[in-house]
């Protein structure tokens, strides 16, 4: 009996490990370390925003990317009035050099871009979109809270209507073709998870755990009393089973994570207007006047606070 009991304990331990509760830090990025681990993507915006993504040399020269100690900042240009017939407002899109499958990311963010026309995002994506999947961790438009976490996939991926999460679902079909690219989103329960309220609170921590069994996303505001110590301290080892109920939970129940999600690059970007933020009903519905593109062209000072300030990023595998 004792041997049998020991074997059961071992099996339970292995099962727990397979669920991905415990992880070890594999990468840590802070300050100018981001410049070594991420590449500036000077590409046409896939979401058709009124932006001109610049390369690293340009971003550094124009102070759109800079670091000081544990501050890493990326931002949109906030001094130039644009010609209607010229390129969009200079901005930054970063992509990690490394790719990940089963992993945890913890983002310690002090400040995120705000203002009419802004569409910031922290996310992950495969190389053959949408077949390789997309995980949006932090995303929203026009300074409207709360944050929304979303999966985007090809066909055959959906989420159960009832599941263990604190957020509220905006849709349960993750298929971009069936949802006009809306995917299956979950809104966080707290207003300080996004935008001006996020910044006023000093930001906070976003964490995402991806396994073949589920994808989970958490948020803790800067002064929350429930921030796990391993999250707050950026510990070298973490245990996600101690983090409580995530605000977004995407189980593999009706969606094979391994089939719909390939290796992912991490992305940080700020676009303006585009397919979501630039819709007139969305832009005006947020209390923004006129049309988004004209607003972006003619009001450079409106983007003074359109920047990310990231304290660090820890990645665990």
Catalytic residues: 134, 139
Please state, in angstroms and rounded to a whole number, the distance separating the CA atoms of residues 118 and 207.
22
Contact 88, 274 (CB under 8 A): no
Residues in the chain: 317
Of 313, 315, 310, the C-alpha closest to 65 is 310
Q: Which helix (H) or strand (E) holds 316?
A: strand 307-316
Taking CA atoms, 200 is separated from 169, 223, 245, in Å, by 26, 11, 25
Reading the block at residue 134, the tokens are 């997309």
Annotate 223-246 with DSSP letters as a single string. Answer: T-TT--HHHHTT-SEEEGGGS---
Please state, in angstroms and rounded to a whole number, the distance separating the CA atoms of residues 120 and 274.
11
Strand, helix or coil for residue 277: helix
Contact 227, 108 (CB under 8 A): no
């Amino acid at each position: 009996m004792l041997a049998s009991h020991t074997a059961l304990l071992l099996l339970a331990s292995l099962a727990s490990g397979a669920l991905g509760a415990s992880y070890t830090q594999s990468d840590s990025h802070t300050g100018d370390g981001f410049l070594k681990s991420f590449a500036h993507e000077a590409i046409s915006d896939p979401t058709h925003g009124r932006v001109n993504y610049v390369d690293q040399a340009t971003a550094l020269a124009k102070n759109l990317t800079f670091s000081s100690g544990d501050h890493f900042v990326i931002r949109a240009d906030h001094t130039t009035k644009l010609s209607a017939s010229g390129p969009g407002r200079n901005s930054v899109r970063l992509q990690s050099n490394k790719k990940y499958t089963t992993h945890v990311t913890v983002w310690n963010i002090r400040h995120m871009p705000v203002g009419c026309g802004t569409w910031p995002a922290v996310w992950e994506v495969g190389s053959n979109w949408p077949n390789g999947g997309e995980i949006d961790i932090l995303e929203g438009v026009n300074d409207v809270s709360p944050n929304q976490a979303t999966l985007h996939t090809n066909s055959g991926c959906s989420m159960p209507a009832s599941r263990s999460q604190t957020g509220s679902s905006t849709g349960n079909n993750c298929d971009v073709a069936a949802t006009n690219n809306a995917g299956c989103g979950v809104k966080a329960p707290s207003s300080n998870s996004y935008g001006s309220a996020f910044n006023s609170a000093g930001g906070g921590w976003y964490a995402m755990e991806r396994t073949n069994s589920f994808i989970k996303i958490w948020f803790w505001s800067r002064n929350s009393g429930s921030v796990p110590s391993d999250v707050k301290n950026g510990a070298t080892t973490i245990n996600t089973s101690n983090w409580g109920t995530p605000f977004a939970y995407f189980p593999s129940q009706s969606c094979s994570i391994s089939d719909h999600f390939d290796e992912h690059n991490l992305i940080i970007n700020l676009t303006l207007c585009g397919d979501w933020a630039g819709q007139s009903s969305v832009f005006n519905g947020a209390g923004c006047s006129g049309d988004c593109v004209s607003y972006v062209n003619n009001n450079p000072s409106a983007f003074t606070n359109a920047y990310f300030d990231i304290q660090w990023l820890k990645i665990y595998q």
